[in-house]
Structures are given as structure tokens and as C-alpha cells.
Amino acid sequence: MIKIYEDNDSIGLFLQLMQRRSEEDSKDALEAVEGIIGAVRKEGDASIKAFTEKFDGVTLEQLKVNEVEIEDAFSKVSSNIKNALEKAITNIEYFHKKQIRQSWVSTEENGVIMGQKISALEKVGVYVPGGSAAYPSSVLMNVIPAKLAGVKKIVMVTPPKKDGSIDSNILVAAKLAGVSEIYKVGGAQAIAALAYGTDTIPKVDKIVGPGNIYVALAKRVCYGKVDIDMIAGPSEITIVCDEKANPRFLAADLMSQAEHDKLASSVLITTSKTLAEEVNKQINIQIQNLNRKEIIEASLKNYGGILVVKSLEEAIDMANTIAPEHLELMIENPIAYLGKVKNAGSIFLGQYSPEPLGDYMAGPNHVLPTNGTARFFSPLSVDDFIKKSSYIYYTEDALRELSEDIMILAKAEGLDAHGNSIKVRVENE
């Protein structure tokens, strides 16, 4: 059952509430994280093993996952799952290959050459959470764009279980996607190891992948020393629909987002109050058979909302204000409305493009900007694993032509050594 909001004031209050969702910023957690990072920088592998003993309850001899463990995982995972992963990889690669960019050069008539050189990051770290949030699909989504960008070394880290093992699905997904090395380490200590390097774990250029509050804080603290993917918050879906949309589909999609966690937000914006009520009926029916019923109920109660508005235009404006991670347009001729969408991580068009299709199989990335940050952040892509360098080559004549103007601006800025570097080239000694 999701609360229905009809008047502007209560809709406004609901939107404010959902945008204020977030985990408490904890000074204690930050201090703990800073302590862990300091220890890893100082003591390297020894402190990694100590933290793993403390937090994961297991004493490890070797941090690195070996070939036998990977073969073992392959033998344990069903061929159904392996085939599904392979199909997902094919589709994800198909989409992400279209994102690959080329270096460009511009050669001018006067002999000047300028351009932008694209190169892959050399080493990337991928964090994979443990426990119930160990998702093989996320391994694919984080690793494949890095691989396609041309990253040579992709280092995966993930916390071990109490028996020292790693989830078999995760190992299989990592191997199939092309991870180079896997280490059994999680939490802030894993981020510190990737940012600074230890004897065993290589220092990387960028760290991607989701994690708990300690992982998120450690990424934020190390940002600048190493690049990170994005600042992730609680996730959400917004569905815009007209009165012809199928309430059964709508209910299912809202719940598929809600099952993630109690901070997740599922919002339906519709022009039809009758439909809103039918959706609630469908939720009550379908939820009975769902395993994560309790989480779904809490999430829908806390941050779920059905907003009844006057027009489709108003609905899309409201979605732009929310700037949702996932936006479903369950309307007739949805492609005609694509131009009106300003802020959304991933957009699902029509009745047969539900969000879980995008989570697993369609091809676009499921690592998306959350909590309203689609105003300025983008889905994870091949772009996240490259860097650019610009370059220029000037001839003596071409430099001479601009020399006066450069010296004028250098003087205006009080930087005469800048002017001098031009002067020594255009004036005789």
C-alpha cells in the first residue's frame, strides 16, 4: 500500500522528504575509517590481515584468490547461471562498445597541430560487497566498461566469508568479465590498500563499486589520491504513467525497487487516481508471495508515494525535479517524450522495458547516479575508465603571430616570467 498524494502542498512535502533520505553522517565512522587508512598505509598487508580477522572473523594466510578456488567456483555454479551471465556479458559489451571514444587531431594549414589523446587508465580497483549484497550482475557492470576502455589491470577486492571463501557466483562473474586479480579484503581497509598499495595489493588509479558506509567514507577520504566512481546515496525509481498503463506491471516495478533496502524510494506519478488505487490493490496481492516483503513494506511506507497530477507534462516536470536513478515512462509513444526528460540516470520506455531488464540484461549500465544526483552525475560508462591529454605543436611563425597577445595577457595578470618565455623565442638574444 502506497500513500496517494493529490494536492500540491502534500506533494511538495513528500518530494522534500524523499530528497532528504540518507544515512547518518557519523563522526565515529569517519574517525574509524581514518584510523584504518592510516594503519594500512603504515603496516600494509599485516594490518589488512588484522582487520580481516577483526571484521570478517577469519584468519587468512593468502589474500589473493588462487586458480583452484576459481575452478572450484566454476564447478559449483549451475550452467543456467553461467549461461545467463554469458548472455548478459554479450549485451553489456554490445551497448558499452558504442561508448568507446577516439583520440582526435586537428592539423592546421599554418603547420599547427593540436589534439586530444585518449588513454585508458592503467589500473582499476573494483569493490564488491560481501554477504547478501554480493551481486554478480554488479561485477559485470563495473568490470566490462573498464575492460572495453583498455584498462590492463583490473583488481577486484571483496570481503571473505567466515570460512575464508568468496561467493562462487561472484568469482565466476569476475572471471567471465575479465578481472585480472582478486583479493579477499573488504571495508575501508580494502579501499586503503587500493589507494596506497601494499606488498600484495597493487595501488590503482581509480576505485569503483558500491559498499557500506565505511567503504563509501573511505572512498571519499581517498578521493584525489585516487579517482572514485561517484558518491552514491539511497536509490530510487520514478514511474510516470498515463491511464492506460497496466497496474499489475506498475505494482511489480515499484516493489522491485523497494526490495533493495528500507531507504529505497518508489514513486509513481500518474494522471489517474483510479489507476493509483488499482496499483495499491495489485501491490497487496503480489506482495504476499515475495520473500523480501518486510523490506518492501518498510520502504513503500517510508519513501513510497503515488502522486496524482493534472497532465503528463506536469508529471515529467516532477520527474525532472526528482532526478531519479531509474525513470520508467509507461505511456503511449514514450519515445516522443524522451526530449522532455532532463534528469534521469536510466530511462525505461514503454510497458515492456521494466527496470530489472536493465539491471541484468539489456546492456546499459546499472551503476547509476542516485538520490537526485542525476542532475549532474551520469551512468558508469567507458568514459569513467579513460583519461584525456590535450596537446599542441606550434611552428615558430605561428607562435610569432600570437606572441604580442600572449605577452599582453601575461602582463595584465602580472606574470612576467610567462611573457618572458614567449619573448626569448621571438626576440633576438
Specify binding-site residues: 127, 189, 212, 235, 257, 260, 326, 359, 413, 418
CA dist 204 and 225 (Å) reads 10
Q: For a copy of itself, give the closer residue by CB, 63 or 283.
A: 283
Q: Is 424 in the site for a copy of itself (CB under 8 A)?
A: yes
One of 42, 54, 76, 117 touching a copy of itself (CB under 8 A): 117
Grid cell in block for residue 151: 584498462
Asked if 208 and 367 touch (Cβ cutoff 8 Å), the reply is yes
φ/ψ of residue 371, rounded to 5: 55, 40
Pick from 137, 138, 98, 104: nearest CA to 118: 104
CA dist 300 and 262 (Å) reads 8
The nearest distance, CB 98 to a copy of itself, in angstroms, is 6
One of 62, 66, 119, 274 touching a copy of itself (CB under 8 A): 119
Q: Is 145 in the site for a copy of itself (CB under 8 A)?
A: no
For residue 325, indicate whether it is catalytic.
yes
The nearest distance, CB 384 to a copy of itself, in angstroms, is 10
Longest CA pairwise span in the chain (Å): 88
Binding to a copy of itself in span 42-71, by CB under 8 A? none
One of 45, 242, 259, 317 touching a copy of itself (CB under 8 A): 259
Q: Per CB under 8 A, which region of 38-46, 157-165, 174-182, 221-229 contacts a copy of itself?
A: 221-229
Query: Exactly one of 236, 297, 325, 355 is catalytic; which is it?
Result: 325
The nearest distance, CB 60 to a copy of itself, in angstroms, is 26
Task: Provide the mask over 180-219, with x wherever binding to a copy of itself is found by CB under 8 A and - wherever it is not.
Answer: -------------------------xx-------------
Q: Which residues pair with 119 in a beta bridge?
A: 387
For residue 326, indicate whether it is catalytic.
yes
Q: Is 422 in the site for a copy of itself (CB under 8 A)?
A: yes
Q: Per CB under 8 A, which region of 194-202, 269-277, 306-314, 374-382 contacts a copy of itself?
A: 374-382
Q: Is 338 in the site for a copy of itself (CB under 8 A)?
A: yes
Cα 123 off chain centre by: 18
CA dist 387 and 122 (Å) reads 10
Q: Is 74 in the site for a copy of itself (CB under 8 A)?
A: no
The nearest distance, CB 182 to a copy of itself, in angstroms, is 19
Contacts 24+ apart (CB under 8 A), 26-35: 26/213, 29/213, 29/214, 29/217, 30/217, 30/221, 32/188, 32/214, 33/188, 33/214, 33/217, 33/218, 33/221, 34/221
Q: Is 322 in the site for a copy of itself (CB under 8 A)?
A: no
Q: Which amino acid is at 355?
A: E
Residue 169, burial from CB neighbour count under 10 angstroms (0-12, 13-18, 19+): buried
Active site residues: 325-326
